[in-house]
Structure 1
Amino acid sequence: MSEIPGLDGVLGVEHLEVGPDKVVVRFTITERHLQPFGIPHGGIYCAVHESTASIAGQVWLGTKGVVVGTNNSTDFLRQAKVGDTITTTATPIHRGRSQQLWHLDSVDGDGRLIAQGQVRLANLDQEIPPEALAAFTAS
């Protein structure tokens, strides 16, 4: 577990780059990431993809509202193993008034694509607590 709140902290995600046009995170596969048959659970990638896209989308939207995930489509392309460090990058496909679509690539330490996906976000007309946004935009 890390200092980061929520599921990212439980999964050991480290935020490397956070900006309105790209977010990059990293985590290392451990035993806690495995499904019952000893291989990494695909839900790790789905969860990391959604939270990474959500951070990117919220930083882009700023204080104009709050983003929520409405769809997550993740394909698992190659199996990782315990000890592999996975880097996930979110980049925008579309950012509009009411919704956003983000592309995500998760690669291993050798740059091989492990999982790829898209996350759709809805931009809700709600106030976001300033401290929540500041946690990701502070330098």
Structure 2
Amino acid sequence: MSDVPGLDGLLGVEHLELTPDKVVVQYTLGEQHLQPFGIPHGGVYCAVHESTASTGGQIWLGEKGVVVGTNNSTDFIRQAKVGDTITTVATPIHRGRTQQLWRVETTGPDGKLVAQGQVRLANLDLPVPPEALARYRAMTQE
């Protein structure tokens, strides 16, 4: 586990770069990331893709609203193994008034693509919860 709240914390995700134009996270695959047959669970990559894109989208949107995922399309390219350090990078393809589209790429320790995809986000006209706003401010100032 990491100091990051929520599912990312349970997965051991560490934030390396947090900007409106790029989010980079990293985690090391462990037994907790495996499906019953002993290989990394694809849902881990999907979850990290969505949270990484959502983090970038929220940083970009700021206090203008709340970002929520509306679609997550993740392709699994090659298998990683327990002990591998995995890096996920999210960059925007499109950012508009009501929605955003982010490209997400996950690589293994050799730099080869493990998974790739896109995450579509909706920009909702809702107030950002104060605790979430404080967390994002703290994360982007580290």
Q: Is residue 2:138 matched to residue 1:135?
A: yes
Q: Is residue 2:32 matched to residue 1:32?
A: yes
Aligned-pair distance for 1:131? Answer: 1.1
Q: Is the 8 A contact 1:72 1:119 kept in 2?
A: yes
Amino acid at match of 1:133: Y
- In the other structure, the counterpart of 1:99 is 99
Aligned-pair distance for 1:25? Answer: 0.2
Structure 1 Cα separation of the partners of residues 102 and 59 of structure 2: 13
Structure 2 Cα separation of the partners of residues 13 and 76 of structure 1: 19
Structure 2 Cα separation of the partners of residues 119 and 38 of structure 1: 27
Structure 1 Cα separation of the partners of residues 78 and 136 of structure 2: 34
Determine what percentage of the aligned residue pairs are the same residue: 73
Structure 1 segment 44-123 matched on structure 2, within 5 A? 44-123=44-123
Q: How many residues align?
A: 139
TM-score with structure 2 length normalisation? 0.95
Q: Is the 8 A contact 1:59 1:136 kept in 2?
A: no
Aligned-pair distance for 1:134? Answer: 1.2
Q: Is the 8 A contact 1:46 1:72 kept in 2?
A: yes
Gaps of 5+ in 1: none
Amino acid at match of 2:39: I
Amino acid at match of 1:36: P
Structure 1 Cα separation of the partners of residues 108 and 33 of structure 2: 15
TM-score with structure 1 length normalisation? 0.97
Aligned-pair distance for 1:133? Answer: 2.6
Structure 2 Cα separation of the partners of residues 136 and 72 of structure 1: 24
Deviations 1:104-128 (A, max 9, x none): 0000111000000100000000111
RMSD: 0.8
Structure 2 Cα separation of the partners of residues 127 and 94 of structure 1: 23
Aligned-pair distance for 1:132? Answer: 3.3
Q: Is the 8 A contact 1:62 1:133 kept in 2?
A: no
